[in-house]
Amino acid sequence: MATVFGFAWWKVWKQRPSARAWGIAASVLITAHPVWRIIRFPRSIHGYNVLVLAVGVVGLLAFLMPDEATPKQNAEELEEPSIEGI
């Protein structure tokens, strides 16, 4: 787990293209642990498990959101230039 978290942190910090995959892997790992504890020990739903589960789900949502391919442009940039004299 430490290796996956380390690679995920490093790739996100360096803004590498593989950061998304490493972030998803780390989020799945951090989500799997409390889910396993809740399934294995049904009465162990404490603040710790719920908090870690919430962090994992938020991480998954953040890394699964699609990136914008192009930056948004202002409305002025999208307008056609005016042709003088017409």
Give CA separation, 79 vs 9, 12, 70, 74, 75, in Å: 41, 36, 17, 9, 7
Query: The tokens of 72 are what?
Result: 């948004």
pTM of the model: 0.68
- Type of residue numbered 50: V
pLDDT at 86: 56
- Report d(CA 58, CA 31) in Å as an integer: 10
Q: What percent of the chain has pLDDT over 90?
A: 24
pLDDT band for 45, please (50, 70, 90 cuts): low
Rounded distance between C-alpha atoms, residue 36 and residue 53, angstroms:
11
Residue with the larger pLDDT of the pair 38 and 42:
38
Q: How far apart are CA 22 and CA 8, in angstroms?
A: 5
